[in-house]
Amino acid sequence: MSRTAGAPSFAVIPGVQVHEVLDGRAPEVVGLIESAYRVHGEGDTVNPPSYFLRFPDRPTARIIALPASIGGPAPVDGLKWISSFPDNVAAGIPRASAVLILNDPATGYPLACLESSIISAARTAASAALAADRLSPRGRRPRRIGFVGVGLIARYIHQYLAGTGWEFDGIGVHDLSAEHAAGFAGYLDRAGEAAPVTVHDSAEKLIRSSDLVVFATVAATPHVTDPDWFSHNPLVLHVSLRDLSPEVLLTGFNVVDDIEHCLKADTSPHLAEQLTGGRDFLDGTLYDVLVGTLAVPDDRPVFFSPFGLGVLDLAVGRHVYDTLRAEGRLPVVEDFFHDMRRYG
């Protein structure tokens, strides 16, 4: 069937195509994320609060809507709709699933629906890799890394660090599940990681032996409460946002991606605000670091707590869409928009 005359096209982009566009291109994706942070910091975005759909009969599960709009050289509007069902892991399927809708900023019409668990993981990992590079005190990249929580996000963060030239002398692994910890160690071996891997039986041992710590858990409340564990001043990528007690954060140099977004929903920074009655413990945003108005010290632990902005998903999703369109590979749904005449 031919497309209805005058109607915009609509594409449904499966995960396999998203993977093809993004796989092995960590530096390019990190560049996209940096550009998106700069556009956001310059005020050319709309990024309202995320909306959480929760279920009384399934308290661990949630579905989140992230509406957003980004300007810059490739403007686009849209919505990320991402679910987190931790019980999926026991059933052998990933915890998170997602779709991303892109809308044409000129007409408002949806342009595409993309499988977005890969986009979400890639933008999270690219954000972490960018922050790790720019927040390393005096530009010295840490050589000992530790992962607390070793699911899909941890794997992507490792891939993006490796893909942007990071090399390690040692890698620590800790997870509440010994099976998952062993599985991540196996992934590191298959990925060709040369550094020796140590599976730790406690978060404390991992943190004390790491100069770069990645938290990628599903923790709902803080479980790391002793500031002394961080007395060696590591760089901490607090990606999962709820692992650290306020008492830990208050000892360090705190950088977020967006202040208003991070200080919501009982994140660790939000709890610190509630404890102190203010936001003075926050030193700035990643944008401040990118533009050179915030210097990173080397005499305190450095905590990066990113809420994860919908504009980042849009930037990566728009890149996937534009790449496939330029290559003539957009999987267009013919006649998706049908009744296009005002009076029939």
- The DSSP 8-state label assigned to residue 292 in this structure reads T
Whole-angstrom CA distances from 147 to 88, 325, 334 are 21, 37, 45
Domain match, 34 and 74 both: yes
Domain match, 83 and 186 both: no
- 280: domain CATH number is 3.40.50.720
| Position 337 in a domain | no
Q: Check residue 139 and give its pLDDT.
A: 75
| Position 225 in a domain | yes
Domain match, 58 and 169 both: no
- 62: domain CATH number is 3.30.1780.10
Inform me whether the pLDDT recorded for 1 exceeds 80.
no
Buried b / exposed e over 252-291, threshold 16 CB at 10 Å, is bbbbbbbeebbbeeebbbbbbbeeeeeeebbbbbbbebbe
Domain match, 103 and 72 both: yes
**d(Cα 281, Cα 270) in Å, to the nearest integer?**
11
Look-up of token digits 């794997």: 155
Q: Sign of dihedral through CA atoms 73, 36, 123, 261?
A: negative
Name the strand (E) or helix (H) holding 51: strand 51-55
| Position 344 in a domain | no
pLDDT band at 338 (very low <50, low <70, confident <90, very high): confident
pLDDT band at 6 (very low <50, low <70, confident <90, very high): low
**d(Cα 280, Cα 270) in Å, to the nearest integer?**
12
Tokens of 67: 């509406």
| Position 230 in a domain | yes
Q: Check residue 342 and give its pLDDT.
A: 79
| Position 338 in a domain | no
Contact (CB, 8 A) for 303 and 254? yes
Question: Tens digits of per-residue pLDDT, 16-75?
Answer: 999 999 999 999 999 999 999 999 999 999 999 999 999 999 999 999 999 999 999 999
Q: What is the mean pLDDT of the chain?
A: 95
Overall number of domains in the chain: 2
Domain match, 285 and 320 both: no
Domain match, 62 and 132 both: no
More confident: 337 or 317: 317
Question: Tens digits of per-residue pLDDT, 177-215?
Answer: 999 999 999 999 999 999 999 999 999 999 999 999 999
Domain match, 46 and 154 both: no
Domain match, 228 and 287 both: yes
Rounded to 5°, the CA angle 58-64-70 comes to: 175
Q: What percent of the chain has pLDDT over 70?
A: 98
The residue range of the domain holding 77 is: 11-119+311-326
Q: Check residue 7 and give its pLDDT.
A: 65
| Position 333 in a domain | no
Domain match, 316 and 292 both: no
Q: Check residue 2 and give its pLDDT.
A: 37
Inform me whether the pLDDT recorded for 298 exceeds 60.
yes
Domain match, 174 and 114 both: no
| Position 293 in a domain | yes
Inform me whether the pLDDT recorded for 168 exceeds 50.
yes
Domain match, 135 and 112 both: no
Inform me whether the pLDDT recorded for 91 exceeds 80.
yes
Domain match, 319 and 273 both: no
List, in sequence order, the alpha helices (H) in the chain: 15-22, 26-41, 117-135, 152-163, 178-190, 203-208, 246-249, 259-262, 268-276, 286-290, 310-326
| Neighbouring-strand partners of residue 274 | none
Q: Check residue 341 and give its pLDDT.
A: 79
| Position 214 in a domain | yes
Q: Check residue 149 and give its pLDDT.
A: 97
Entry pTM: 0.94
Inform me whether the pLDDT recorded for 90 exceeds 90.
no
